[in-house]
Amino acid sequence: MSEAPAPAVSDLFDKVVNLCKRRGFVFPSAEIYGGFRSTYDYGPVGVLLLRNVKDAWWRSMVQLRHDIVGLDAAILSPPAVWEASGHLKNFTDPLVDCKVCRERFRLDRLDDPEVCPNCGSKHSFTEARQFNLMFKTYAGPVEGAGAEVYLRPETAQGMFTNFKNVLETSRKRPPFGIAQIGKSFRNEITTGNFVFRTREFEQMEMEYFVPPDESPRWYEYWCAERLAWYHDLGIPEHMLRLRAHDEDELSHYSIGTSDVEFLFPWGWDELEGIANRTDYDLTQHASHSGERLEYFDQAAGVRYVPHVIEPAAGATRTAMAFLMAAYDEEAVAREGQGQGEVRTVLRFHHRIAPYKVAVLPLSKKPELSAPANDVLAQLQPHYMCDYDETQAIGRRYRRQDELGTPFCVTIDFDTLDDQAVTVRDRDTMAQDRVPMAGLLDHLRARLDA
Ligand code: ATP
């Protein structure tokens, strides 16, 4: 399928995309074959960033709670699941073709639905038709009817189809949740804005099952919780907002949805949707599968189908928001050689920063590599560390600033006499002399605060 041209983007957007390529955060996939444009690969630093985003979500959703359990469901699933969920019928976007240049567009994303953004022609679009976004493939050695399976377009259905299994094995009862992180696939009509919209991406979703009359309260609760999560991890308040959907925006299963939106360089756009899905999913799967998907409250003697509140976030999209929010440039007022230069620094929250510490021996000489390796061995069991022994120290600091590493530990020739190292702070560039024996405690006090 042809792609729409890239939308106009601001300076910040280009700077972040360039930095991602230059420093090993994100690469266009299959780049040596000219790129694929609808997927991206996460490089040595990006994979750490993405993992930290997912770990921070899992920590707040599963580890720090007693009412939510995890799940890792299959990506491939049979048509019956998607028939019941409504995706085969409803998971569509309106597609139009320009009759002049033959580009294809998603109608509801066009700035002006009368004008082709590629060739400028007016009234050149075909009638909109509903395009299903699910990827279909075949299971087993036979192609054709009966062998079709779908790549999941969201992780949520795995939580609904396992509702009974989890209820019976986990000793949880409503209100309780099932959380999952994993890949989802959507054959988006147009991809773009870097990793914002891709055809393969990662989601972090949680289905929270509640007694029906409690659903409005839990909906409000999860809207507030999820907004606070981004804020607590360093996204400034002025770049975040919660926006309630208008009636005509609601999905087929929802009676209320709010999006957590981030101020991207092109304007406000969605990071996460929090939806009140009522009993739609469990009722649909119960009637299609013939299983009873209910909860029997023994104390009250009532049987009911729980309602579901779902916070559904994108891990890859959120990683991009953290990058955008962290990006900063400032004139360097200290650090010898670098004075007067502009430095680029990613001011990530410590939990999100790919590396927590960089270990930098001042020279490659063996008398410094030995203590540097001791420092590395002391820190590695606790923190993800980078190690770099080439180039002038000022340039190495600049590199770590661009990776967002909160602390650099420099081992110099004085270390051999005083058994101390220099700890340099990413944000203030302040340097402290710290005894090697107390280094881990020094860093812990700052990184785990
Ligand atoms: P949109 O309206 O932008 O197509 P959506 O409202 O259909 O997205 P949801 O189904 O609510 O998205 O998915 C939950 C989250 O998953 C989104 O908020 C987003 O962070 C992420 N997500 C959805 N589609 C994509 C995609 N194509 N690429 C990257 N992330 C995505």
State if residue 350 touches ligand 1 by the CB under 6 angstroms criterion.
no
Q: What is the pLDDT of residue 7?
A: 38
Q: What is the mean pLDDT of residues 335-349?
A: 80
pLDDT tens digits along 87-134: 999 999 999 999 999 999 999 889 899 999 999 999 999 999 999 999
Q: What is the mean pLDDT of residues 198-221?
A: 97
For the chain, what is the largest distance between any 2 Cα atoms, rounded to a whole number of angstroms?
78
State if residue 190 touches ligand 1 by the CB under 6 angstroms criterion.
no
State if residue 184 touches ligand 1 by the CB under 6 angstroms criterion.
no
State if residue 186 touches ligand 1 by the CB under 6 angstroms criterion.
yes
Mean pLDDT value across the chain: 93
Distance 390 CA to ligand 1 centre (A): 42
Distance 247 CA to ligand 1 centre (A): 19
In angstroms, the CA 299 to CA 281 distance is 25
Q: Which two tokens stand for residue 185?
A: 């696939």
Q: At 339, is the pLDDT very low, low, confident or very high (cuts 50, 70, 90)?
A: low
| Ligand 1 pocket: which of 50, 131, 201 to mutate (most atoms within 8 A of CB) | 201
Q: Which of ligand 1's atoms lies nearest the C-alpha of 312?
A: 14
State if residue 191 touches ligand 1 by the CB under 6 angstroms criterion.
no
pLDDT tens digits along 386-444: 999 999 999 999 999 999 999 999 999 999 999 999 999 999 999 999 999 999 999 99
Which residue has the least CA distance to atom 23 on ligand 1?
Answer: 314
Distance 186 CA to ligand 1 centre (A): 9
272 and 229 in contact (C-beta within 8 Å)? no
Distance 62 CA to ligand 1 centre (A): 22
What is the pTM for the complete model shown?
0.93
